[in-house]
Amino acid sequence: MNDSKKANRRLFLKGAAGASLALPFLPSLAARLGHAQAVATKKRVIFIYMPHQETDGFAPDANFSFASSYLSPVATNYSARMLVMNNMKTLGQGHAGGHTEWLTGFPGGDDYRPTQGPSLDVYMSNKLQGQTPLPLINFSMSWRTVINNGVTSWNPGPTPTAVPAINNPPEAFSSVFTGGSSGTPAQPSQALVLQGSLLDALQKDYQRVDGLLSAGDRILLDQHLSLIRDQETRLQNAIAHPFSCAAGGGAPAMNLSWQDTLRSFMDSIVGAFRCDATRIATLQLGCSGDDSNYTFVNPAATNYHDNVAHASPELVAEVRKWQMQQIAYLCDQLAAVPDGAGGTLLDSTLIACLPELGWFPASGVLAYIDSTGRMQTTDNNHLRFQVPAVLIGSSGGFFKTGRFVDMMQTHYHDLLITLAHAMDFTEVTTWGTNGTGVLSQLLA
Amino acid sequence: MNGPRTTKEALVRFTVGATLLASLAGCVGKISGAGGGSSGPPGSSGSSGSGGTAGTGGPDIGSIDINAAGTDSVSPAFTRRLTKTEVANSIAALTGVTPTSVAMLPDDALDFEFDRVAQSQTVIDRHIQGYLAIGDEVVKALSDAQLATLAPACTTVDRNCAQSLIDTLGKRAFRGPVAPEQTAAMLALFDGAGTARDGVNQVIRFILQSPSFIYLIERGTPVANNPGILALTDYELAARLSFFSCETVPDATLMAAADAGQLHTADQLATQATRLFGLPCAHQTVQAFYTQWFHLDRTATIMPDTTALPLFTPDARQGMIDEDNQFLSYLTWQSSGTLASIFNADFSFVDSRLGAIYGMTGLGSTPAKTQMPPERRGLLTHASILVTLSNPTATSPVRRGAYVYKKILCGDIPLPPPTLDTTPPKDDPTKTTRQRYALRTEVGVCATCHSLMNPIGYTMENFDPIGQVRTTDNGQPIDATGSVPSLNITGLDGGASLGIALADRDELRLCFARKWLRFGLGRMESQTDVTSLRPLVDMARQQSTLKDMMVALSRTYAFSHRAVPPDPGVSP
């Protein structure tokens, strides 16, 4: 157990990636870049899942000063890029409702599964299919990635299936830096060709066995078969369009500290954006109702759910401030990578920090207007009557940043539509149960 | 239970979900047992006792009436996947390689407590990626010389070697003959690869990723007069026995018995099961069973407030883990331990690391069988259980009570509705934990369910959050009196009295039988399995040993049969 050694290992990755990730300038790639530039600047987005609620200390003051805001770690260098909002209306309530509504707009019930998919990240990823070698990348700080309360990314359709996140840094690293060799292969490797024929043979074997079984017995095998087909499609794509996102260095060590784990995920996202492996990333700072240990922030924060979210608004703010310090790190990394004419990756990346629950005051009593227009109060900090959000980045001048906006109970689902438009998915005109249009008050 | 949150991890993945989510309108807590008899709560015999309902819908995992008549039948489940442990063990047994990339596979879901329950399984992309990586790792790790140890013809790496691997490695991996189509596919892969070694690698990759390896495919043969029920073949039973006892592919003895058609009568199965449960690998399997049933893995990660409770040291934590393992291992393997003894034993395995917490002196440096003071009887008074069911600075009678009610007695209780504020009670230096919880949970709508759980948890209030015996809480005397309302057990006082009272209850016996069947067969159990559960309950009544009861599952109808699962298109 040597923390400094682990940190160095992770830093080594970052340094190595920085040194060797420069795109090899092959004619085909140059042509693709040229094409891309002629059409539009590439837009990128990172959705960050913020577990639990926001509280006092979230908003900047009337002068957009963050002196007493726990968003200050990001604001210190990037306040001009920030668009802070509060007071959006939602449909979903509680951990399950907020969690499932997060990017889908279709809050689910006790099983923590939205009633309908896709989530916005998956929607975008599907739309970009073929334009980048990798689909969505999604990383999570929670060990819960297979069960629904750890899943934020959902496939299309009713009672959607999960797109589980990766929750360990080496795997996140290798999901981006495939192969680890440097340079773009001129020919598809023999290994890929062999894997192609293997997948083909396996497909036939699954089909054959499927044919021997009853419909009920085929449930898992059918899922397996369709995933093998997906894998083969990706493989054929990789063979047709050789892709290199070589890391040059080693993968991060196992068992990093909490902060180094999170930063390693951030490094992998920046690396993926740098070589345009994907443009869509989701980063979960925890699962729904996250119960992680934050004693490194404050010794009392032994359990995020029990001893922070339920116990102390001050601790909620402290943990949020630490999270914002990490997001500032992410901004720093994006800002360090040149992209396009004189800009950086930070210029082309929109970071959307969206909470699981709503804003809940430190006083412990939230006043709100109920559906009949009457003023009510509640001491339940799981309600999402006033949902805030933080955007970092203007998405190519789409948003008017550098300000705080009281959303006056406009609907959160409209924010999801607005985010889709920011990323140029202007075909999205409805989203979730209540989304009907773009929030014009946010636009430049 | 701290809120509408992560404890709600039972996902609805199959039709059982519908019966799991009991109505929240009223708390119909149900504990399985002798329904209609004296010990069941009112209404507990409500579920149908009819057998032979396979194929008509999802199993009812609510209450089971062990005394109800029933014909031989089995509850349906779809084909299940091997667990991560089973994949790792099997590949090691087959190839001698221990692939580290098994870690890439997603963790097995524990929705229904055990890592192998069909109804909790799904397949996601990381499985596919993981299996591909495992295949690559195994072929890379196998030298040409090692290939020769896997198949006789592989002294030369050529097409004969490929055929030989199919016949030996393939047959054992698939737990039966390789289908002609599979042989043809593998030889085609061999022929299409660049070199002979590449070709052999392709064959091995195929074997390790075929559904015949990764899934426990059981087709069986129809049973006369029992529609929808299939009797398993000898090969399928060899696989069941082997994964049931050792979480791996069958050994040579099992395969030979299956080859000879000597593996389908109850006696044949029990003879093999007895042999297998004498092997070291079975000890690991049974330890996994206890760990998952009793949720013992949490002892390694629980974080009490060590400022307030400084006796909880890393050494003490390890002492707790060792105590559980040695106690359960001793009862199962080194003595004639019974199910009752898990809950009422007057001894345990402790050492000086636990001395301070247990208030015992003169203990050695390694766990040894030790007579325990009268406050401690059985597992429920082990520090591991008491600490993992506590909050960092205070006990949680709700967690402790719910644990006994649900995990030990197989009771159903719905989760609080998501709109309910389930914040734990606030600190109050003038009140005991019990008083605070009573004020918070025994009023209004909360009381409906909590009245079933809290009185159980209160009996353990004579143990503090790290399992020390205590007589006061916040300066007030401890009140550890309580009851198990749904079983009409009253007059309890202290955790030891709870374990002793539960030890001779049919509800506990049935719960063990249910968990062991669920674990052993990798599927949910229901009333339909009653004729297979009853022999285990009868054995527990007669104080049979744990080991004999475990082996006895191999004799049951459920062990040698399966039901065709319902068509997923029919259920929601």
For the cut 90, the answer to whether the pLDDT of residue A243 exceeds it is no
pLDDT at position A171, please? 83
- In this complex, the residue of A110, A209, A302 whose CB is nearest that of residue B418 is A110
Residue B553 is classified by DSSP as G
**Average pLDDT over every residue of B148-176:** 96
Which has more confidence, A253 or B286?
B286
Q: Which residues pair with A88 in a beta bridge?
A: A387
pLDDT at position A241, please? 58
Q: Which pLDDT band, with edges at 50, 70 and 90, does A412 fall under?
A: very high
Of B138, B209, B157, B151, nearest in space to A198 by CA: B209
CA distance A54 to A359: 5
Instruction: Identify from B2, B7, B8, B232 which residue to disrupt to test chain A contact, counting A C-beta atoms within 10 A and taking the largest count.
Output: B8
As a whole number, the mean pLDDT across chain A is 83
CA distance B546 to B167: 39
**Average pLDDT over every residue of A186-205:** 84
Q: Which pLDDT band, with edges at 50, 70 and 90, does A245 fall under?
A: low
Alpha helices, DSSP H, located in B210-347:
211-214, 234-246, 252-259, 266-276, 280-294, 314-329, 339-344
Of all residues in chain A, the one with the smallest CA distance to B178 is A205
Residue B127 is classified by DSSP as H
Q: In which element (H, E) is residue B82 found?
A: none
CA distance A261 to B527: 47
Which has more confidence, A242 or A213?
A213
For the cut 70, the answer to whether the pLDDT of residue B310 exceeds it is yes
For the cut 50, the answer to whether the pLDDT of residue B534 exceeds it is yes
Chain Cα centroid distance, residue A155? 15
Instruction: Identify from B128, B175, B306, B389 which residue to disrupt to test chain A contact, counting A C-beta atoms within 10 A and taking the largest count.
Output: B128
**Average pLDDT over every residue of A408-432:** 94
Residues of A in Cβ contact (< 8 Å) with B78: 216-220
For the cut 50, the answer to whether the pLDDT of residue A6 exceeds it is no
For the cut 50, the answer to whether the pLDDT of residue A31 exceeds it is no
Chain Cα centroid distance, residue B359? 33
Chain Cα centroid distance, residue B265? 26
pLDDT at position A341, please? 60
Q: pLDDT (tens digit, 9 = 90+) per residue, B92-129? A: 999 999 998 898 888 898 889 999 999 999 898 779 98
For the cut 80, the answer to whether the pLDDT of residue A240 exceeds it is no
**CB neighbours (10 Å) of residue B569?**
7
pLDDT at position B303, please? 86
Q: For Cα atoms B156, B161, B167, give the angle at the middle one, nearest 5 degrees.
A: 150
pTM comes to 0.68
For the cut 60, the answer to whether the pLDDT of residue B41 exceeds it is no
Which has more confidence, A375 or B7?
A375
CA distance A279 to A268: 12
- A350, two tokens: 């929109």
Q: pLDDT (tens digit, 9 = 90+) per residue, A138-162? A: 999 998 887 788 999 999 988 888 8
SS3 A239: helix
**Average pLDDT over every residue of B227-250:** 97
For the cut 80, the answer to whether the pLDDT of residue B79 exceeds it is yes
Q: pLDDT (tens digit, 9 = 90+) per residue, B184-237? A: 999 999 999 989 999 999 999 999 999 999 999 999 999 998 999 999 999 999
SS3 B238: helix
- A338, two tokens: 């040149």
Q: B356 to chain A nearest CA, in Å? A: 24
**Average pLDDT over every residue of B357-370:** 96
For the cut 50, the answer to whether the pLDDT of residue B494 exceeds it is yes
pLDDT at position A428, please? 93
Please answer yes or no on whether A93 and B418 come within 8 Å at the CB atom.
yes
Q: pLDDT (tens digit, 9 = 90+) per residue, A320-331? A: 999 999 999 999
For the cut 80, the answer to whether the pLDDT of residue A248 exceeds it is no
Q: Which pLDDT band, with edges at 50, 70 and 90, does A168 fall under?
A: confident
- A428, two tokens: 């999205």
Residue A268 is classified by DSSP as H
Residues of B in Cβ contact (< 8 Å) with A382: 3-4, 418, 421
ipTM of the shown complex: 0.88
pLDDT at position B276, please? 98
pLDDT at position B111, please? 85
Asked whether the CA dihedral A211, A213, A215, A218 is positive or negative, the reply is negative
SS3 A84: strand
Residue type, B486: S
For the cut 90, the answer to whether the pLDDT of residue B397 exceeds it is yes
Of A270, A262, A268, nearest in space to A290 by CA: A262
Of A418, A423, A322, A403, nearest in space to A60 by CA: A403
In SS3 terms, A372-419 reads as CCCEEEECCCCCCCCEEEEEECCCCCCECCCEEEECCCCEHHHHHHHH
**Average pLDDT over every residue of A365-386:** 81
Residues of A in Cβ contact (< 8 Å) with B111: 147
pLDDT at position B422, please? 72
For the cut 80, the answer to whether the pLDDT of residue B45 exceeds it is no
Is the preceding peptide bond at A118 cis, omega within 30 degrees of 0?
yes
Q: pLDDT (tens digit, 9 = 90+) per residue, A54-105? A: 999 999 998 999 999 999 999 999 999 999 999 999 998 889 999 999 999 9
**Average pLDDT over every residue of B128-153:** 93
As a whole number, the mean pLDDT across chain B is 88
Residue type, B386: L
CA distance A381 to A364: 8
In SS3 terms, B24-54 reads as CCCCCCECCECCCCCCCCCCHHHCCCCCCCC
CB-based contacts of B136-140 (< 8 A; 24+ apart in sequence) = B136/B101, B136/B205, B137/B97, B137/B99, B137/B100, B137/B101, B138/B91, B138/B95, B138/B97, B138/B99, B138/B204, B138/B205, B138/B208, B139/B200, B139/B201, B139/B204, B139/B205
- In this complex, the residue of A190, A208, A220 whose CB is nearest that of residue B78 is A220
- In this complex, the residue of B21, B79, B118 whose CB is nearest that of residue A221 is B79
CB-based contacts of B128-131 (< 8 A; 24+ apart in sequence) = B128/A224, B128/A227, B128/A228, B128/A230, B128/A231, B129/A231, B129/B104, B130/B101, B130/B102, B130/B104, B130/B105, B130/B106, B131/B105, B131/B208, B131/B209, B131/B214
Of all residues in chain A, the one with the smallest CA distance to B133 is A195
**Average pLDDT over every residue of A240-250:** 54
Query: What is the edge-to-edge ordering of all strands in the sheet holding A44-50?
Result: A137-140, A280-284, A44-50, A349-355, A387-392, A82-88, A403-406
**Average pLDDT over every residue of A42-62:** 94
Residues of B in Cβ contact (< 8 Å) with A197: 189, 192-193, 202
Please answer yes or no on whether A111 and B419 come within 8 Å at the CB atom.
no
Residues of A in Cβ contact (< 8 Å) with B212: 205, 209
Lowest model confidence (mean pLDDT) among A177-181, A239-243, B281-285, B547-551: A177-181
* Residues B374, B495 contacting (CB under 8 angstroms): no
- Residue tagged 């591991």 (tokens): B384
pLDDT at position A238, please? 64
Residues of A in Cβ contact (< 8 Å) with B567: 214-216
Of all residues in chain A, the one with the smallest CA distance to B199 is A194
Please answer yes or no on whether A111 and B564 come within 8 Å at the CB atom.
no
Q: In which element (H, E) is residue B483 found?
A: strand B481-484
CA distance A431 to A414: 7
Lowest model confidence (mean pLDDT) among A185-189, B157-161, B329-333: A185-189
